[in-house]
Amino acid sequence: MARMALVTGGSRGIGAAISKALLAEGYKVAATYAGNDEKAAAFTADTGIQTYKWDVADYAASAAGIAQVEGDLGPIDVVVANAGITRDAAFHKMTPQMWQEVIATNLTGVFNTIHPVWPGMRDRGFGRVIVISSINGQKGQAGQVNYAATKAGDLGIIRSLAQEGARKNITANAICPGYIGTEMVRAIPEDVLNTKILPQIPAGRLGEPEEIARCVVFLAADNAGFINGSTISANGAQFFA
């Protein structure tokens, strides 16, 4: 029987690549999104992957959405916590609201996504938890104190869950992408990209969303059970943790 995978923020960017890669590997896939109904509908029409709308920062909404997914498609075996936002500013200009919004989505949202599926994984004796963190959670980044804090916190989550879930055949791992050629990154002015960003990357290029998706497929596999509490750095040799 096909495994069931849930990908938050799974209809755009890296999340869309992950959803499609898991589908191609034979998984049943559900993708969540936060607000863009038109793009979500287009994604479903293009891929056949069912999309569900909720705010991962809201625990009740997450629990209800996950219950609906499991009612429609079956118990969730693989959860990919990918949804995230940025509210960038120099620290002295960062407002409490900018801090709280990022914490709510990128850190609390990971709890809200994993917590409702964890008991079922324990009961069934199988689970794959994969969190999309960031190179900036490993090394920090000026102007992203809030974002870097959440992505570093996500690593603490997976390292702790790995220890709790191991005897139940549940793994928890993270992927830390560097600069990936998503719509957001490609919107950066070309001169900034060429003079400020690419020179930091020994590979000399941006990563592709599909390269992150391949990491997810690897970690999600049934035969990846001894890889637990690990972090895959996918950044073109920009930084070594």
Angle at 64 between CA 58 and CA 69, to 5 degrees: 120
Rounded-to-integer distance, Cα 188 and Cα 191, Å: 8
User: DSSP readout, 7-65?
Assistant: ETTTTSHHHHHHHHHHHHTT-EEEEEESS-HHHHHHHHHHH--EEEE--TT-HHHHHHH
- φ, ψ (nearest 5 deg) of residue 44: -65, -40
| 52 among known catalytic residues | no
Q: From 180, 127, 125, select the one nearest 158 (Cα to Cα).
A: 127
Task: With residue 218 as reference, give the H or E element that holds it.
Answer: helix 209-220
Which tokens sit at 30?
A: 């559900």
Q: Which of 27, 33, 52, 147 is the catalytic position?
A: 147
Residues annotated as part of the active site: 147
